Structure 1
């Protein structure tokens, strides 16, 4: 045990916080998945990186565990033991996995975390079934808690927003890069808050709810998580164009070749310097030119500036709340880590 006074101890790093929360949540998450039909449970375990097709144990790369960490920290911020937030962490992790299974099918993405996506490994129908089972299991998990009705309402609201965001994202793909029907940066912000921010905000709010926090604190944590979600999505957009493939697991310029309406592209299109960008985006062989023009037109800088502004807004909400000091510090460390990663 450290002999330093707690005020003089360095706060845990964000990776340490994520690791601590994953270790706390993993047994309950595994127990929940184990209640599913064996075949569906195998697909779920495969999606989490716990097994190979057929059920052989594996240690494949999993997600960072951001949402489950926010749930645990939400409970701790309310002054409760982190274990109070575990059911919330399990529920949001199950919903996140459900959304990824269905997203990969809708987007036609064949890989997830450097492995075949569940729909490629097991088939489209089975992957849809597994996603549905994870969603149902998430609701069941929350309904069994003492704060079940309130918690399920929070999750339902987040899911409705997530669906709205996904619907907008799919519709964006059919809209042009130029002209009156083009996607605007403001439309993108709203989509990102729904698609990515809603579940991050819900995670922190659910943890706080199960930890006994009052309604104003729960609402503020939800709002902070939504800001974090937009920032997280914007950083993903930057990495999708300029990120190191060894780190991101995606090819250089992959988002440009797929003609995704990401924030750096949309922001750059508002500049006269990017008048030739639509024609570059239409040609797979000119992605490097397109990336350079997006940066020259200010798209990269605009995305990062927006991400920092959203992070500052989330931090302001956290500092205004009467949160338990340790959890508040860890939440802020998580903000900086997620927005500053690999840039």
Structure 2
């Protein structure tokens, strides 16, 4: 295939993804703002800050608000089953609220001080206030689905709650891994599937459900989202070590600095190689790792095969997701948008 043809196809996918994201922001943000406006004053203030709508004093700002990937997936999956995307807007709002609930809590538990290139909510308002704001967002997510009046609202609530429980289980496992030196790769993959794959699978399932999809279509699109979510986690873990801080918003080697047991790290630790053993020795040191030690740790992850493992798994899981998407038999335009969104999600320069 000639390079110009490849470039044109890539450009078409980029445009399809951009169109889907722009539409999601345009359609979903007014409904998201209306939902957040129903929160009590303090919770609304913290939530709006976290969402990038205003500063810590409540003054409007132009801040990075995330890509709206999950809302875009919801709307595109409604189209994929031949439904009206407008009917799935409550699901898009609910999934975004649940996602931001998890981010508020994660930032507190992980001690992260930056999110989307801004100070995290807990560093501005305190950890207790940020946790309560997260609780409020999750409660609001359920209420938005119930209030939608959609015939499948009760089923949608169960799907969302099941995904959130999986997410919480994944986060619990992630925290437990910090205290362990014997984490197996299979359990790390289960943790990542729960923590990341479950909510993206839920987004796709809810879009199909509220779009009127058949049971098999809902299941296939849920699997599409789950595989894509795990692929995303592999890429995100790679960026947590080797990502450009200007893109990720986090310091270089951020995951190594906090000794996180991420997918490439655990693959390296369990590799049975000399590099894996050296990495384990670094990870078990009591003192904070210096800049040179962090750079050496990143090199050891790569030498032990962790970097290549996650790159290959990200690609394999993407192809698995796209097979599930084809099995759902979406119309061409929806298939193009979902394929474009999937490929954008795992771009290594994102």
Same fold? TM cut 0.5: yes
Correspondence 1:106-185 to 2 at 5 A: 106-145=109-148, 146=150, 147-176=152-181, 182-185=182-185
Q: Deviations over 1:136-190 (max 9, x none)?
A: 11001111231211111111111111111011001001001xxxxx111111110
Which deviates the most, 134-143 or 280-289?
Answer: 280-289
Q: Cα offset for 1:280?
A: 2.9
Question: Does the CA-based 8 Å contact 1:88-1:203 persist in structure 2?
Answer: yes
Correspondence 1:195-206 to 2 at 5 A: 195-206=195-206
SS in 2 for 1:340: coil
Q: Cα offset for 1:65?
A: 1.1
SS in 2 for 1:64: coil
Question: Does the CA-based 8 Å contact 2:220-2:327 persist in structure 1?
Answer: no
Q: Deviations over 1:320-342 (max 9, x none)?
A: 12212211111111111111230
1:121–1:304 Cα change, 3 Å: same
Q: Cα offset for 1:10?
A: 4.2
TM-score normalised by length of structure 1: 0.93
Question: Does the CA-based 8 Å contact 1:280-1:289 persist in structure 2?
Answer: no
Q: What do you get for the CA RMSD once the two structures are aligned?
A: 1.5
Correspondence 1:211-290 to 2 at 5 A: 211-269=211-269, 270-274=271-275, 275-281=277-283, 282=285, 284-285=289-290, 286-290=293-297
- Structure 1 stretches of at least 4 aligned residues deviating more than 4 Å after TM superposition: none
Match of 1:37 in 2: 40
Gaps of 5+ in 1: 1-8, 177-181
Question: Does the CA-based 8 Å contact 1:99-1:131 persist in structure 2?
Answer: yes
Matched, 1:334 2:330: no
Which deviates the most, 272-281 or 112-121?
Answer: 272-281
Question: Does the CA-based 8 Å contact 1:74-1:85 persist in structure 2?
Answer: no
TM-score normalised by length of structure 2: 0.91
Q: Deviations over 1:57-98 (max 9, x none)?
A: 011111111111111111111112221211100000001111
